Amino acid sequence: MPDYLRPTALDDALAALSRRRLTVLAGGTDFYPARVGAPLDDDVLDISALPALRAIEERDDHWRIPALATWTDIVRADLPHWFDGLKLAAREIGGRQVQNTGTLCGNLCNASPAADGVPVLLSLDAEVELASLERRETIPLADFLRGNRETALASDQLMLAVRVPKPRAERARGHFLKLGARRHLVISIVMVAAALEADAAGRVARAQVAVGACSPVARRLTALEEALVGRPCDAALGEVVTEPHMAPLAPLDDARGSAAYRLDAARTLATRTLAELGSMM
């Protein structure tokens, strides 16, 4: 009989993790699908009863999305336009059932190359809070994600939250486009997320663009970001995108699409994301 721990205090959870190998269970939307037809014999740490890990909070210089916040919580939260891309991603992941139980933090810990939460959070320069019994640390998401289903999470650590730094500019907005082969319940072929900040003159002060499902971990397109800075915020931003901007991507061929197609579609989606975002700024 495997163990099933469902602590109600964070320190108890961390203490348990410090002692032994446990599979962390939150929303269950990655855990159960990975065990179809297989015995449920993991020793499990169910963190869903931990207190104070659900509500999304605004803090001094950042927003905090804690470990148990679901996609639906994100959709329902009263958040600034900076989070529009994240909300779009939340609405398109799985069906309502997955949105109601699946958590953003779980999506990050699962670290699929096609994780819908990753490109958006990279475009928002997100950080993650990690905790073990001994210490807490906050590291950039980009450092947390190390590869296809590889993360920096140690076996004694829990992810407590995602932090999204507040934009510096008053005019700041995010956007997200996802391409799949059907309308609902679809794993992304390509995703593009972008976040822009405008200066007082209406020009791009800061740009962050990330592409998902085109490399083991979603990638930022830094050359494109640099090319966007200083341009007027309008639909013409889409025209800035060129093929060389896609250089950081290294897509694979699979049943959902060829590598060449992914590159091509990433460019198209980047163009559209920026054109739409530019005109909404």
Partner 1 sequence: MSARGLDGADRAGAATLGDAIAFTVNGRAVSVTAPPLRRLADALRDDLGLTGTKVGCNAGDCGACTVLLDGEQVCSCMVSLAQAAGRSVETVEGLARNGRLNRLQRAFLRHGAAQCGACTPGMLVAATEVLRASPRPSPVQVMDGLGGVLCRCTGYRKIVAAVLDAAGDAPQPLGTPPPGAAVGARLAKLDGVPKLTGAERYGADAVPQDALWLRIVRSPHDSARVVLGDLEAAAAGWPGVARVLTAADVPSNRVGIYPDLRDQPVLTEKIVRHRGDAVVALLGAREAVTTVRDEDLPIRYEPLPAVRGLGEAQATGAPRVHDEMESNRLIEGGVECGDAAAALAGCAVTAEGRFETAFVEHAYIEPEAGWARRVGERVELFVSTQAPVMNQVMTAEVLGLALRQVRIVPSACGGGFGGKLDVSVQPLTALGAWLTGKPVACVYERPESMMASPKRHPSLIEARMGCDGDGALQAVEFDATFDTGAYASWGPTVASRVPIHATGPYAVPAVSARGRAYYTNGPPAGAFRGFGVPQAAIAHEALLDDLAEGLGMDRLELRLKNAIRVGDATATGQVLEASAGLAPCLEALAPRWQRALEDAARSNTQDGPVRRGAGIGCMWYGIGNTALSNPSAMRITLDREGRLTLYNGAVDIGQGSTTILAQICADALGVAADRIAQVLGDTDWTEDAGKTSASRQTFVSGKAAELAGSALRAAILREANAAGDATIELAGGCVVVRDGGRRVEIALGRLKADERGVVLEGAGSFDPPSTALDAKGQGAPYATYAFGAQIAVVDVDTELGTVTPVRIHAAHDVGRAINPTQVEGQIEGGIAQGLGLALMEEYLPGKTENLHDYLIPTIGDVPEIEVIIVEDPEPLGPFGAKGVGEPGLVPTAPAILGAIRHATGVRVTRVPALPHRLRAALRAREAGP
Residues that bind partner 1 (CB under 8 A): 1-9, 11-13, 15-16, 19-20, 25, 27-29, 31-33, 36-42, 44, 46, 48-49, 72, 91, 94-98, 100-101, 179, 181-187, 189, 254-258, 260-262, 264-265, 268-269
- Taking the complex as a whole, the smallest distance from the CB of residue 177 to partner 1 amounts, in Å, to 10
Is the Cβ of residue 119 or residue 257 nearer to partner 1 in the bound state?
Answer: 257
Helix (H, G, I), strand (E, B) or coil at 122: helix
Is the Cβ of residue 167 or residue 212 nearer to partner 1 in the bound state?
Answer: 212
Is the Cβ of residue 128 or residue 263 nearer to partner 1 in the bound state?
Answer: 263
- Residue in the structure block whose two tokens are 């947390």: 144
Question: If you ran DSSP here, which 8-state letter would residue 235 be given?
Answer: G
Residues pairing with 44 in the sheet: 4, 23
- Taking the complex as a whole, the smallest distance from the CB of residue 11 to partner 1 amounts, in Å, to 8
Is the Cβ of residue 208 or residue 271 nearer to partner 1 in the bound state?
Answer: 271
- Taking the complex as a whole, the smallest distance from the CB of residue 135 to partner 1 amounts, in Å, to 17
Spatial distance between the Cα atoms of 128 and 144, rounded to a whole number of angstroms:
8
**Tokens representing residue 211 in the block:** 């592409």
Is the Cβ of residue 231 or residue 262 nearer to partner 1 in the bound state?
Answer: 262
Spatial distance between the Cα atoms of 281 and 277, rounded to a whole number of angstroms:
6
- Taking the complex as a whole, the smallest distance from the CB of residue 85 to partner 1 amounts, in Å, to 18
Spatial distance between the Cα atoms of 104 and 32, rounded to a whole number of angstroms:
17
Sign of the C-alpha dihedral computed for residues 111, 116, 119 and 120 taken in this order: negative
Is the Cβ of residue 97 or residue 138 nearer to partner 1 in the bound state?
Answer: 97
CB neighbourhood size of 60 (10 A): 5
Q: Which residues contact 266 (CB under 8 A, 6 or more apart)?
A: 190, 192, 211, 214, 246, 249, 251
Is the Cβ of residue 100 or residue 222 nearer to partner 1 in the bound state?
Answer: 100
- Taking the complex as a whole, the smallest distance from the CB of residue 77 to partner 1 amounts, in Å, to 16
Is the Cβ of residue 93 or residue 128 nearer to partner 1 in the bound state?
Answer: 93
Evaluate whether 179 touches 277 at the Cβ level (below 8 Å).
no
- Taking the complex as a whole, the smallest distance from the CB of residue 279 to partner 1 amounts, in Å, to 15
Element (H, E) at 107: helix 104-110
Nearest Cα residue to 43 out of 14, 67, 20: 20
- Taking the complex as a whole, the smallest distance from the CB of residue 48 to partner 1 amounts, in Å, to 5
Evaluate whether 98 touches 85 at the Cβ level (below 8 Å).
no
End-to-end CA distance of the chain: 56
Q: Return the amino acid letter for 66.
A: P
- Taking the complex as a whole, the smallest distance from the CB of residue 196 to partner 1 amounts, in Å, to 22
